[in-house]
Structure 1
Amino acid sequence: MAKFLLTSTYTVEGINGLMKDGGTTRAEVIRALIENSGGRMESLYFGFGQYDTYIVCDLPDHRTAVALAVTIRAAGGLDTRVSPLLTPEDVDEALGMQVAYQPPGA
């Protein structure tokens, strides 16, 4: 499984839904959505800065992450972004890879 950060900003419609349902209910809905997609929600936090929600989760693959983000955004209550997360070991492995590259003008 791959780890992702889902960040979201509520639309006016989404804020109204949050006020009606409450944070705990919305968190349960998101947990069920992730689990029904074969993933696992590690954490969910609400914020009041750049984003309104921060979710760290494990998902089967990038296609699943895209499907969740598109489905959530299409519903109209949230503007959602997905960021893949890398472990320090992932970065070490990537840095050890040999990649041939010729910069422009070289």
Structure 2
Amino acid sequence: MPKFLIQATYTPEGTKGLLKEGASGRRAAVDQVVTGLGGQVEAMYFAFGEDDIVLIVDFPDPVSMAAVSLTVKAGGALHTRATPLLTLDEIDEAARRQVAFRAPGT
């Protein structure tokens, strides 16, 4: 399954919700959304600094990740970034592929 790194920052309204229901309540909500689309939460951490939450999730396909991303962003309680994560084998395969490319100006 494709794996994604999700980094999120709460808006003021989202922070109020976190304070009201706690971290375990948010984890339950995340689990429900991810498993509802056939995915799995590998790790979820709360942080402080630029990001408030960091997750690693597996989804059956990138479209499932996009569906979650759109729905969460539309809710307005979080600003999120999702980064596809590739295995070492996937990068090795990519490195073996021939790509025809001409740099600008050459």
TM-score (norm 1): 0.96
Q: Which residue of 2 aligns with 1:52?
A: 52
Q: Which residue of 1 aligns with 2:103?
A: 103
Q: What's the CA shift string for 1:68-88, capped at 9, x where partnerless?
A: 111101111111111000111
TM-score (norm 2): 0.96
Structure 1 gaps, min length 5? none
Q: Which residue of 2 aligns with 1:77?
A: 77
Q: Which residue of 1 aligns with 2:10?
A: 10
SS where residue 22 of structure 1 aligns?
A: helix
Q: Which residue of 2 aligns with 1:27?
A: 27
SS where residue 100 of structure 1 aligns?
A: coil
Distance 2:83 2:2 in 1: 11
4+ long deviations beyond 2 Å: none
Q: CA deviation at 1:66?
A: 1.1
Q: Which amino acid aligns with 1:75?
A: G
Structure 2 gaps, min length 5? none
Distance 1:49 1:95 in 2: 35
Distance 1:80 1:105 in 2: 37
SS where residue 50 of structure 1 aligns?
A: coil
Distance 1:52 1:73 in 2: 15
SS where residue 58 of structure 2 aligns?
A: strand
Q: Give the length in aligned residue pairs.
A: 106
Q: CA deviation at 1:90?
A: 1.1
